[in-house]
């Protein structure tokens, strides 16, 4: 019989104890943030071993990230001494890898399979597309891979996905899926999703199922709300007979819908196990009352929830601080200043600065460096070390210094120009005495030694550098960077890819343009700007030990910090600008906001900027709708809404550019568009004043939709690259205006400022 005194139950409340000591039968713990779900899981593992006499190797605990799995294993080992290799505490993927390796030839993948990483996957799918003669322009490898991954997450092999392929594009892509699978087989390879897929299939066999159910008598799953269908099925197979399955989760923290997480899995649990015991945990041990109130009030706006209440006895605590700053740089500086201040109160506390999307780290990183404050970027790469940023930097460096061979090698094939290693070697061999690689390439080109695609593309590449000097001297820095992005074909490459990942990269590049605009306003020239960037990416050894973490909200799931800063509380940032399009989009963003708030233990800061640069141009932001949902009582000072909020701002809301075809007649060629961009930056554009030409415009109140220039849904358009289509949605405004267009081969998202769309 459990007693309070048992060391493993010490400090636990009644329902927590009940959960820890409930050893047999299905158990569902649905509870809000910070209520001790993860704590219960670890204590339960220890309890099973120590009190119920279960062999450690019979317990299987699963979670989502390596970090979480590592922490869980560590916590268990602190409670009971078990050799690490006996504990099956892991992520779903590493569990599956272990199973497939053990089972060797009983599964289609064999024992010695290799795991393909994203670049291996890409080369394979490219090969397949070429075999099928599917043009990459319409069937972008990454988009096809996205579709494949989506099918796999739903446990569908090609032949099982036939009914899902309703449109011609998907039918073709499905053929690619079939060949892609065959390709993996012939390489004796698995991709990441296959690990789950094949393990799930393997467990379907009754004999296997029985053997493994016997092997793993007790299953525990943390963050259950984020399981996808394949993970769900996998757990089902193992638990079906003995039903010793404990899942913990919070439907309000389901934030991976875009990756196939299926909230139905929680709801179905009770259908699959009608006898399940359900335990509610309602006491929150993490946050003070003010923080908890804010979180509860916000999430109450969601309709798709089971509903629950949370209380805390940690006291009322401090109110939330919201601060609206004039611009992004000041926002970052404000955060730095507050961190300094809070250090006095929490000298050893870990702090977190959270943001919605990776591009937002740039100004924070710069402000922290300027203040000499060490930080670590969790789950991400520092801004200036991101692949696309380094690619762009290679172009700029080469413009500055054509002798830079490293930058030549990097830029020449990003985007790909069909220049292989042999051609590259020939170019380098052709470099004249004391000359540059660009000259080497020009020589080969003139001699006619480059053929076909390489000839064409290298011609353009060299043109870029030939024109660059002039551009650099006649244009501002931001305009130059933007020009390079377009001329290099980089924007086009990302646009054609059309995946979420590509969009993230695009946002980073836009943020880079903004960095250039910042530098320009300080009067820096290209070379000086590059020097600054180089210094900014110089790595700091203190970082690992730093108490300050920067990360996305997604990355912060399950973690807690005494002080949390949540930056960028603006519409189209948080909620993200794609959210409005997706069904359930805003609700998922709100869950994300709930996750963010509930990371804070003692103090939560929220910040926003009135103006932010987008593609180097200043736009007025609108404060996030989520701020309105915060209870006024929980805030240090009420938020002043309406035009008042904008008095201090300048410029007009929603930027100024006539987006694709703003007034009907659209820009016909990319060249005109670039010229338009330049004119805009110089403040010459007739359509709307850029920042330079806007001495004191009337403040414009926030509006739900960008004014003017946006074509309505249903508009028939024509794209030089993708042909005819119909607009199905528009998001963002001005520079960020993005259309979703349905073409005959499927939907694409097209950034208006680059898409060259024409109205039919």
Among 191, 194, 200, 222, the active-site one is 222
Rounded alpha-carbon distances, angstroms, from residue 660 to 666, 668, 738, 759: 6, 10, 10, 9
Task: Candidates 32-40, 51-59, 331-339, 532-540: pick the segment binding ligand ATP (CB under 6 A).
Answer: 32-40
Q: Which is nearer to ligand ATP, 224 or 653 (CB)?
A: 224
**At its nearest, how many Å lie between Mg ion and the CB of residue 247?**
12
Q: In DSSP terms, which residues pair with 247 in a beta bridge?
A: 28, 221
Residue 209 interacting with ligand ATP (CB under 6 A): no
**At its nearest, how many Å lie between ligand ATP and the CB of residue 286?**
4
The entry of Mg ion, ligand ATP, none that residue 36 binds, CB within 5 to 8 Å by partner kind: ligand ATP
Binding mask 241-280 for ligand ATP (x = CB under 6 A): ---------x--x---------------------------
**Contact (Cβ atoms closer than 8 angstroms) between residue 40 and residue 248:** yes
Give the pair of three-digit tokens for residue 21: 């000591």
Consult the annotation and say whether 38 binds a ligand. Answer: yes
CA 307 to chain centre: 28
Consult the annotation and say whether 708 binds a ligand. Answer: no
Give the pair of three-digit tokens for residue 649: 């701002």
Pairwise CA distance, residues 651 & 657, whole Å: 12
Consult the annotation and say whether 440 binds a ligand. Answer: no
Q: Is 264 a catalytic residue?
A: no
**Contact (Cβ atoms closer than 8 angstroms) between residue 286 and residue 33:** yes
Name residues whose C-beta falls within 8 Å of residue 213's C-beta, 6 or more positions apart in sequence: 237, 238, 239, 240, 241, 242
Pairwise CA distance, residues 136 & 565, whole Å: 42
Q: Which is nearer to ligand ATP, 71 or 540 (CB)?
A: 71
> Strand 738-743 and strand 723-731: pairing?
antiparallel
Task: Candidates 37-45, 440-448, 572-580, 693-701: pick the segment binding ligand ATP (CB under 6 A).
Answer: 37-45
Among 21, 37, 323, 362, the active-site one is 37
Asked whether the bond before 575 is cis by omega within 30 degrees of 0, the reply is yes
Task: Candidates 27-35, 52-60, 459-467, 710-718: pick the segment binding ligand ATP (CB under 6 A).
Answer: 27-35
Name residues whose C-beta falls within 8 Å of residue 465's C-beta, 6 or more positions apart in sequence: 398, 399, 402, 438
Q: Is 507 a catalytic residue?
A: no
Residue 39 interacting with ligand ATP (CB under 6 A): yes
Binding mask 18-57 for Mg ion (x = CB under 5 A): -------------------xx-------------------
Q: Which is nearer to ligand ATP, 35 or 121 (CB)?
A: 35
Residue 15 interacting with ligand ATP (CB under 6 A): no
Q: Which is nearer to ligand ATP, 12 or 685 (CB)?
A: 12
The entry of ligand ATP, Mg ion, none that residue 286 binds, CB within 5 to 8 Å by partner kind: ligand ATP
Give the pair of three-digit tokens for residue 551: 């990360």
**At its nearest, how many Å lie between ligand ATP and the CB of residue 89?**
15
Residue 138 interacting with ligand ATP (CB under 6 A): no
Residue 34 gets the label, from left (phi > 0), alpha (psi -120 to 50) or beta, of: left
Q: Which is nearer to ligand ATP, 6 or 580 (CB)?
A: 6
Consult the annotation and say whether 33 binds a ligand. Answer: yes
Binding mask 284-303 for ligand ATP (x = CB under 6 A): -xx-----------------
Q: Which of 21, 35, 227, 423 binds ligand ATP (CB under 6 A)?
A: 35
- Residues comprising the chain, all counted: 760
**Contact (Cβ atoms closer than 8 angstroms) between residue 199 and residue 99:** yes
Exposed / middle / buried, residue 300 (Cβ in 10 Å: 0-12, 13-18, 19+): middle
Rounded alpha-carbon distances, angstroms, from residue 404 to 55, 395, 437, 499, 582: 61, 10, 8, 32, 45
Consult the annotation and say whether 489 binds a ligand. Answer: no
**Contact (Cβ atoms closer than 8 angstroms) between residue 628 and residue 578:** no
Residue 227 interacting with ligand ATP (CB under 6 A): no
Residue 558 interacting with Mg ion (CB under 5 A): yes
Q: Is 23 a catalytic residue?
A: no
Continuous segment of H or E residues that includes residue 15: helix 14-21
Residue 33 interacting with ligand ATP (CB under 6 A): yes
Please spell the DSSP secondary structure of 661-692, one letter per residue.
TTTSSPP-SHHHHHHHHHHHHHT--SSS--GG
Pairwise CA distance, residues 202 & 206, whole Å: 9
Continuous segment of H or E residues that includes residue 63: strand 59-63
Q: Is 222 a catalytic residue?
A: yes
Q: Is 599 a catalytic residue?
A: yes
**At its nearest, how many Å lie between Mg ion and the CB of residue 253?**
9
**At its nearest, how many Å lie between ligand ATP and the CB of residue 46?**
14
Q: Which of 26, 36, 158, 706 binds ligand ATP (CB under 6 A)?
A: 36
Pairwise CA distance, residues 405 & 413, whole Å: 13
Q: Is 127 a catalytic residue?
A: no
Consult the annotation and say whether 34 binds a ligand. Answer: yes
**At its nearest, how many Å lie between ligand ATP and the CB of residue 44?**
12
Residue 16 interacting with ligand ATP (CB under 6 A): yes
Size of the site for ligand ATP (CB under 6 A): 18
Binding mask 354-383 for Mg ion (x = CB under 5 A): ------------------------------
Name residues whose C-beta falls within 8 Å of residue 373's C-beta, 6 or more positions apart in sequence: 336, 339, 340, 548
**At its nearest, how many Å lie between ligand ATP and the CB of residue 17?**
9
Residue 11 interacting with ligand ATP (CB under 6 A): yes
Residue 63 interacting with ligand ATP (CB under 6 A): no
Task: Candidates 35-43, 328-336, 365-373, 718-726: pick the segment binding ligand ATP (CB under 6 A).
Answer: 35-43
**Contact (Cβ atoms closer than 8 angstroms) between residue 200 and residue 109:** no
Q: What is the dihedral of CA 614, 616, 619, 624, to 10 degrees?
A: 30
**Contact (Cβ atoms closer than 8 angstroms) between residue 431 and residue 440:** yes
**At its nearest, how many Å lie between ligand ATP and the CB of residue 560?**
6
Consult the annotation and say whether 307 binds a ligand. Answer: no
Please spell the DSSP secondary structure of 599-661, one letter per residue.
TEEEEEEEEEEEEEEETTEEEE--B-HHHHTS-GGGBSSPPP-SGGGGTT--S-BT-S---TT
Pairwise CA distance, residues 290 & 724, whole Å: 53
Q: Which of 2, 6, 13, 581 binds ligand ATP (CB under 6 A)?
A: 13
**At its nearest, how many Å lie between Mg ion and the CB of residue 356?**
21
Consult the annotation and say whether 31 binds a ligand. Answer: yes
Residue 652 gets the label, from left (phi > 0), alpha (psi -120 to 50) or beta, of: beta
Residue 568 interacting with Mg ion (CB under 5 A): no
> Site residues (CB under 6 A) for ligand ATP?
11-13, 16, 33-39, 250, 253, 285-286, 558, 560, 598
> Site residues (CB under 5 A) for Mg ion?
37-38, 558
Any idea which residues carry the catalytic annotation? 37-38, 222-223, 253, 599
Question: Which residues contribute to the annotated binding site for ATP?
Answer: 31-38
């Amino acid at each position: 019989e459990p007693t309070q005194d048992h060391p493993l139950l010490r400090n636990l409340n009644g329902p927590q104890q009940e959960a820890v000591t409930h050893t047999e039968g299905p158990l569902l713990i649905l509870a809000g943030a910070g209520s001790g779900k993860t704590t219960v899981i670890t204590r339960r593992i220890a309890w099973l071993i120590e009190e119920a006499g279960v062999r450690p190797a019979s317990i299987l605990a699963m979670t989502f990230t390596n970090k979480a799995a590592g922490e869980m294993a560590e916590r268990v080992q602190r409670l009971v001494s078990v050799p690490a290799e006996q504990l099956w505490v892991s992520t779903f993927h590493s569990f599956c890898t272990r199973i497939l390796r053990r089972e060797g030839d009983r599964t289609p993948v064999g024992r010695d399979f290799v795991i393909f990483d994203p670049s291996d996957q890409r080369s394979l799918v490219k090969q397949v597309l070429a075999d099928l003669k599917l043009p990459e322009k319409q069937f972008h490898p990454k988009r096809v891979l996205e579709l494949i991954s989506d099918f796999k997450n739903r446990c569908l092999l090609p032949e099982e996905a036939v009914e899902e392929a309703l449109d011609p594009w998907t039918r073709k892509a499905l053929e690619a899926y079939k060949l892609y699978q065959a390709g993996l087989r012939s390489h004796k390879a698995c991709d990441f999703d296959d690990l789950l897929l094949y393990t799930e299939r393997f467990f379907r066999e009754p004999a296997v199922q029985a053997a493994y159910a016997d092997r793993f008598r007790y299953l525990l799953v943390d963050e259950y709300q984020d399981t996808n269908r394949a993970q769900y099925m996998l757990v089902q197979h193992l638990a079906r007979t003995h039903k010793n399955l404990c899942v913990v989760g919070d439907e309000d923290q389901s934030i991976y819908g875009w990756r196939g997480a299926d909230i139905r899995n929680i709801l179905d649990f009770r259908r699959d196990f009608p006898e399940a015991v359900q335990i509610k945990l309602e006491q929150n041990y993490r946050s003070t009352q003010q923080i908890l109130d804010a979180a509860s009030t916000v999430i109450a706006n969601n309709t798709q929830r089971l509903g629950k209440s949370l209380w805390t006895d940690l006291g009322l605590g401090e109110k939330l601080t919201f601060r609206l700053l004039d611009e992004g740089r000041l926002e970052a500086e404000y955060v730095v200043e507050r961190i300094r201040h809070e250090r006095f109160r929490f000298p050893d506390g870990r702090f977190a600065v959270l943001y919605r999307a990776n591009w937002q780290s740039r100004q924070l990183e710069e402000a922290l460096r300027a203040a000499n404050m060490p930080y670590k970027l969790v789950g991400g790469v520092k801004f200036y070390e991101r692949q696309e940023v380094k690619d762009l930097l290679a172009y700029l460096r080469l413009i500055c210094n054509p002798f830079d061979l490293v930058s030549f090698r990097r830029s020449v094939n990003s985007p790909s120009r069909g220049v292989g290693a042999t051609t590259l070697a020939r170019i380098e061999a052709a470099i004249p005495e004391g000359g540059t690689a660009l000259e080497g390439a020009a020589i080969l080109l003139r001699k006619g030694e480059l053929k076909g695609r390489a000839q064409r593309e290298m011609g353009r590449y060299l043109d870029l550098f030939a024109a660059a000097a002039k551009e650099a001297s006649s244009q501002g820095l931001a305009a130059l960077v933007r020009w390079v992005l377009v001329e290099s074909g980089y924007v086009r490459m990302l646009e054609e890819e059309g995946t979420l990942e590509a969009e993230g990269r695009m946002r980073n590049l836009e943020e880079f343009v903004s960095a250039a605009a910042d530098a320009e306003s300080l009067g820096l020239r290209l070379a000086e700007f590059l020097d600054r960037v180089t210094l900014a990416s110089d790595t700091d050894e203190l970082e690992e030990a730093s108490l300050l973490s920067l990360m996305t909200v997604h990355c912060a799931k399950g973690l807690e910090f005494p002080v949390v800063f949540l930056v960028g509380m603006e519409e189209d940032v948080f909620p993200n600008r794609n959210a409005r399009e997706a069904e359930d989009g805003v609700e998922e963003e709100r869950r994300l906001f709930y996750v963010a708030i509930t990371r804070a233990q003692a103090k939560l800061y929220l910040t926003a900027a009135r103006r932010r640069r987008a593609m180097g141009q200043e736009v007025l932001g609108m404060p996030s709708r989520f701020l309105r949902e915060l209870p006024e009582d929980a805030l240090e000072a009420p938020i002043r809404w309406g035009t008042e909020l904008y008095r201090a701002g300048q410029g007009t809301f929603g930027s100024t550019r006539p987006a694709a075809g703003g007034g009907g007649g659209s820009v016909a060629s990319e060249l005109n568009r670039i010229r338009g961009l330049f004119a805009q930056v110089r403040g010459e554009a007739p359509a709307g004043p850029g920042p330079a030409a806007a001495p004191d415009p009337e403040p414009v109140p926030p509006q739900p939709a960008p004014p003017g220039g946006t074509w309505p849904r249903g508009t028939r358009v024509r794209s030089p690259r993708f042909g005819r289509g119909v607009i199905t949605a528009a998001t963002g405004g001005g520079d960020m205006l993005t259309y979703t267009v349905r073409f005959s081969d499927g939907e694409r998202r097209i950034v208006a400022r680059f898409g060259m769309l024409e109205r039919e």
